[in-house]
Amino acid sequence: MSSPEIASLSWGHMKVKGCSSSYKDCKVWPGGSRAWDWRETGTDHHPGVQPADLEEVLKKGVDLLVIGRGMSEALQVPSTTLDFVRQSGVDVRVLQTEKAVAEYNKLAGQGAKVGGVFHSTC
């Protein structure tokens, strides 16, 4: 299965190719996507992305995870979260969301087993 392309990104709105829904924040992996609901794990801008936010995507067999911190990079990514990803044997890249989507789409287009979590506002 290939990782789906992110078809469009604007403030508060993301579309994933092949998916009829649009997302504010989303998780993507080879063969699928869904909304990233911060309430599931108690995530907020501070302290930021939690390991629990990433477990679902990591379990999909990705080799690389791209994290989009928001348009203004307000979403934090603690070093403990990055350590968790690396200890799972997965490479991780953390970028401003527009750059993160571009990187993710480039890798997905090359056939990489890439996953991502993206915050589309601040």
pLDDT tens, residue by residue, 12-58? 999 999 888 899 999 999 999 999 999 999 999 999 999 999 999 99
Q: Which of 64, 84, 75 is nearest to 118 (CA)?
A: 75
User: Average per-residue pLDDT in the chain?
Assistant: 96
Helix (H, G, I), strand (E, B) or coil at 47: coil
Confidence class of residue 98 from pLDDT cuts 50, 70 and 90? very high
Taken in order of first residue, the domains within the chain and their CATH numbers are 6-26+42-118 (3.40.1230.10)
Q: Which pLDDT value is given to residue 1?
A: 81
Residue located via tokens 């890798």: 107
Alpha carbon distance 87, 54 (integer Å): 13
CA dihedral 11, 17, 21, 24 (to 10 degrees): -20
pTM of the prediction? 0.96
Q: Which pLDDT value is given to residue 113?
A: 97
Confidence class of residue 117 from pLDDT cuts 50, 70 and 90? very high
Across the range 86-107, mean pLDDT stands at: 98
Alpha carbon distance 112, 96 (integer Å): 20
